Amino acid sequence: MNTVCNSSALKRRPRPHATRARTHARAHAADQGLEHRLRNGLELGGAPRDPGNLWPEPHYGTKTASTKDGTETKPKNAVCNRTITLSAARSAIKNNWTTALQVTGVG
């Protein structure tokens, strides 16, 4: 939790390796209109170098990659305020980020 709630520690976290991301993206070449991003983002301590943490997110529609960024912020703030556990926040995002705010009660 210290790393998740410490903004300077988050800035020092390694970013996903570009080659790994490109390789994963090529493996899903049919997924046009998608961006391969971290399932559990850095805000919640997601593993940036774990290929299993990369997954496709759409650029179009109502639930997009940029929408998910905002959704991750509220649970992260709730974790830092000790309203919910880090485990609950990660689980809600991983299981279905579109319902994570309702599931955790922070939205």
Q: What is the pLDDT of residue 23?
A: 58
Q: What is the pLDDT of residue 100?
A: 93
Which stretches in the chain have pLDDT values below 70?
Answer: 1-2, 7-32
Q: Counting every residue, how long is the chain?
A: 107
Q: What is the pLDDT of residue 29?
A: 44
Q: Give me the number of domains the chain comprises.
A: 1
Q: Residue 89 sits in which domain range?
A: 2-104
- Give, in order, the Cα–Cα distances in Å from 105 to each of 15, 33, 39, 47: 29, 31, 20, 25
Beta-strand relationship, 34-38 and 54-58: antiparallel
Answering whether pTM is above 0.85, one says no
Q: What is the pLDDT of residue 7?
A: 66
Give the 3-state DSSP-derived string for the chain, with helices as H, strands as E and coil as C.
CHHHHCHHHHHHCCCCCHHHHHHHHHHCCCCCCEEEEECCCHHHCCCCCCHHHEEEEECCCCCCHHHHHHHHHHHHHHHHCCCCCHHHHHHHHHHHHHHHHHHHCCC
Q: What is the pLDDT of residue 35?
A: 73
Q: What is the pLDDT of residue 30?
A: 44
Q: Which residues pair with 57 in a beta bridge?
A: 35
